[in-house]
């Protein structure tokens, strides 16, 4: 466990030292602050303010996650630093787990900072503390954690550009699985079987999208919340396990 934490700490430090990381974070904060201008146009409409702010947190959180995660394992192999790491009493599994934890910490830091700005803007414009907005941000962070696992899985076997493309495709499909399954049910036959396979194979990211609910004051049920958390942990665990297996089989 000590080795995992050391690798996580170093990964986190490397991520937050990147200038592009701060540039993306700066744009994210400015985007959320645009809520103040939007509030004037929307005459203080809380639904519009919350929708814009939560969308900003998601979009820039996704950009940071993909930017940091697309090459997280691959660059260690290219720099040959992975050879040095595993020459010590450190297993490849510990490297993968440490990288995942460190990257997730960096993404979480970004999300927390954006959430603070968002809460401040909503509080300023509506005089209300948006607790449900924080719940939505938490589930967005769960989704980012799952995407980190996706990126680590692909980064262990492909180049950064390919890993990025595959991750973006999975995110796109992951938010359309409900529609895909519904269309398959209507058409029936082989199409339904294929849509069902897609539904269970790809990560169902719709489970973490609470933005449309919380902006209208609707909370997720405890059962739904626990299921989404368990789903994120299980799916991420499978991907991390897969990345470990692939890295163990790779000749270094």
Model confidence over 156-169: pLDDT tens digits?
888 888 888 988 99
Largest separation between any pair of C-alpha atoms in the chain:
62
Whole-angstrom distance, CA of residue 39 vs CA of residue 150: 36
Whole-angstrom distance, CA of residue 141 vs CA of residue 62: 10
Query: Tell me, what's the pLDDT at 193?
Result: 80
Assessment of whether the complete model's pTM goes beyond 0.85: yes
Whole-angstrom distance, CA of residue 109 vs CA of residue 111: 5
Whole-angstrom distance, CA of residue 138 vs CA of residue 112: 9
Q: Is the pLDDT of residue 206 over 60?
A: yes
DSSP-assigned states of every residue in 28-88: HHHHHHHHHHHHHHTTT-HHHHHHHHHHHHHHHHHHHHHHHHTTTTHHHHHTTHHHHHHTS
If you average pLDDT over residues 54-63, what whole number do you get?
88
Four-point Cα dihedral 62, 148, 199, 52, nearest 10 = -20
Tokens at residue 12, please? 């986190």
Tokens at residue 106, please? 């960096």
Query: Tell me, what's the pLDDT at 108?
Result: 94
CA 135 to chain centre: 15
Other residues' Cβ atoms within 10 Å of the Cβ of residue 246: 16
Q: Is the pLDDT of residue 252 over 60?
A: no
Q: Which of 68, 76, 73 is nearest to 109 (CA)?
A: 68
Q: b/e string for 113-140 if b means 16 or more Cβ within 10 A?
A: ebbebbbebbeebeeeebebbebbbbbb
Confidence of residue 44 (pLDDT cuts 50, 70, 90): low
Q: Which of 8, 11, 20, 13 is nearest to 64 (CA)?
A: 20
190 backbone dihedrals φ, ψ, rounded to 5°: -65, -35
pLDDT in tens, 83-139: 555 556 777 788 889 989 999 999 999 999 889 988 888 887 777 888 888 999 999
Query: Tell me, what's the pLDDT at 190?
Result: 77
If you average pLDDT over residues 201-207, what whole number do you get?
88
Which range, of 65-79, 134-148, 150-164, 170-184, averages the lowest pLDDT?
A: 65-79
Indicate the DSSP class of residue 23.
H
Query: Tell me, what's the pLDDT at 143?
Result: 94
Mean pLDDT for all residues in the chain? 82
Query: Tell me, what's the pLDDT at 42?
Result: 59
């Amino acid at each position: 466990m000590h080795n995992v934490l050391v690798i996580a700490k170093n990964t986190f430090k490397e991520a937050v030292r990147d200038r592009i990381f701060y540039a993306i974070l700066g744009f994210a904060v400015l985007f959320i602050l645009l809520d103040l201008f939007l509030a004037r146009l929307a005459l203080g409409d809380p639904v519009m303010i919350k929708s814009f702010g939560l969308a900003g947190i998601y979009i820039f959180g996704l950009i940071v996650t993909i930017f940091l995660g697309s090459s997280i394992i691959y660059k260690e192999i290219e720099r040959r630093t992975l050879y040095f790491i595993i020459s010590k009493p450190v297993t490849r599994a510990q490297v993968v787990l440490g990288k995942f934890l460190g990257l997730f910490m960096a993404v979480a830091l970004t999300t927390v900072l954006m959430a603070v700005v968002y809460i401040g803007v909503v509080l300023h414009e509506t005089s209300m503390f948006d607790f449900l907005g924080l719940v939505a941000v938490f589930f967005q962070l769960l989704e980012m954690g799952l995407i980190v696992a996706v990126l680590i899985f692909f980064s262990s076997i492909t180049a950064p550009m390919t890993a990025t493309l595959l991750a973006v495709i999975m995110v796109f499909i992951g938010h359309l699985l409900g529609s895909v399954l519904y269309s398959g049910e209507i058409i029936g036959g082989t199409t339904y079987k294929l849509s069902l396979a897609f539904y269970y194979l790809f990560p169902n990211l719709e489970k973490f999208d609470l933005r449309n609910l919380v902006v209208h004051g609707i909370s997720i049920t405890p059962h739904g919340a626990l299921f989404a958390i368990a789903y994120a942990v299980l799916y991420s665990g499978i991907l991390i396990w897969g990345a470990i297996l692939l890295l163990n089989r790779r000749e270094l």
